[in-house]
Amino acid sequence: MNNRIEALPPINAVKKKSLVPIMIIGVLFFVFGFVTWINAILIPYFKIACELNHFQSYLVAFAFYIAYLVMSLPAAYLLKRIGFKKGMMVGFWIMSIGALIFVPAAMQRAYPLFLAGLFTIGMGLAILQTAANPYITILGDKERAAQRFSIMGICNKAAGIIAPLLFAAVIIRPTDKQLFADIPNMAADVRAQVLDELVMRVAAPYAVVAVLLFALGLFVRYSALPEIDTEDGAARSSGSVLGFPHLVLGAVAIFFHVGSQVIAVDSIINYASSMGMPFGEAKVFPSYTLTATITGYLLGITFIPKLISQLTALRICTVLGIVLSCLVLVLRGEVTILGHTTDISVWCVVLLGFANAMIWAGVWPLALDGLGRFIKTGASLLVMGLCGNAIMPLLYGYWADGHGLREAYWILLPCYAYLIFYAFYAYRLRSWTRKTKIHA
């Protein structure tokens, strides 16, 4: 029996066939989120354990996400050669190898080796992202793509809420608050011994993660997930994938979106700590930010396309993002919310999670619209945009070292300015030499 998704099947058949694949992809997005958002804890943790400055600590994000730039086009080639399911199995196994690298890295307290492990995990994840996102675009009505992306986003961000808290519970002990305060005053040999013990705590959790990722690879390989056949699609185009301006500019939009999103999540612990909040209390703030994102997803599922279009939701989120970024820079004053007393700007960073909710879900269907046989390569180009997660936090960390953590948030302003440009104008372009409006 042919196990591929054929072009233009009956609508009822699509819905019936799509349910199980979407559930499987939902599990994958949960795994993506768990592996990805754990960086929010690793950045401040390695900053202490490996004695790093802000710029060096954000190399965690750089090493992890720069793999998307390196691996995305090879991932598209791999998927064409061996298929989506085998390709995703290979992706999971590469991630498993990356997790195993954490064990010798912890034994030597070797930060470059940790970065090598993160880069390897990112390579595997690039393959998985290149394969998984087209499923969400293709499996169902185009007008409801944002709904499906929102469901996947909930899976991803729910894992993002759980992962930092679970990881922190495993590696951070109640007595660590005093330990972290005492480390700078310790003698060199005592400090080295304490830091060696501290960093070894990550070895066992990542060994377990390596086994689970290997098993997940086997699960996907033999699951009911079908292959996607895009070569026989109705829309065919000649030339290069770079001939689609809305796709290329969409990849740039993804670059700025994910960069601004990861800054909001990964920087908030250090930012809240800079406002006098203990590390043990600040560790929950990434979860607050991701909860705000999930709230946005739920509203998107509820209102799209019944009350507003996915394009309108994208426009609202981009404008809200630039407004909140400005408020982070200018608002000052302590407030008490959910039992936490801190500067109000910290909560503006939390609310950026809400603003980011529908941007990914809005850009992907717009950028992949009308690609036909180029959809695999187009998806890989969009996944390359995820290297924004590598570059933008590094720029934030560099600026934070020189000018302060609050002032470094200015980096968000050009990100959201470009996203507004794409949401209101650039998504319409179908030619580099002639402007064609396709959407109302």
More confident residue, 59 or 16: 59
Cross-strand bridge partners of residue 337: 340
Does the pLDDT value for residue 8 go beyond 70? no
More confident residue, 2 or 49: 49
- Delineate the domains of the chain, giving CATH numbers in brackets: 9-227+239-428 (1.20.1250.20)
More confident residue, 93 or 81: 93
* CA distances to 30, 36, 44, 325, 349 from 126, in Å: 15, 11, 24, 29, 27
Is residue 361 within 8 A of residue 149, CB to CB? The reply is yes
Residue 424, number of CB atoms within 10 A of its CB: 14
pLDDT digits (tens, 9 = 90+) for 117-171: 999 999 999 898 888 877 777 777 767 777 788 888 888 878 877 887 788 788 8
The pairs formed by 340-345 with CB atoms below 8 angstroms and a separation of 24 or more are: 340/277, 340/281, 342/272, 342/275, 342/276, 342/277, 343/275, 345/406
User: Which residues are CB-neighbours of 340 under 8 A, at least 6 positions away?
Assistant: 277, 281
- Which of the listed ranges 63-67, 92-96, 127-131, 264-268 does the model predict with the highest average pLDDT? 92-96
Query: How much is the pLDDT for 315?
Result: 96
- Predicted confidence band of residue 434 (pLDDT cuts 50, 70, 90): low
Does the pLDDT value for residue 431 go beyond 50? yes
User: Considering only 4-8, 36-40, 180-184, 238-242, which range has the smallest mean pLDDT?
Assistant: 4-8
CA distance 234 to 170: 51
Residue 401, both tokens:
């070292």
Residue 8, both tokens:
């233009």
* CA distances to 162, 236, 250, 318, 422 from 246, in Å: 35, 16, 6, 17, 9
Query: How much is the pLDDT for 330?
Result: 95
Average pLDDT, the chain: 85
Query: Once rounded to an integer, what is the mean pLDDT over residues 51-80?
Result: 86
Does the pLDDT value for residue 6 go beyond 90? no
Residue 55, both tokens:
């710029």
More confident residue, 234 or 216: 216
Query: How much is the pLDDT for 440?
Result: 47
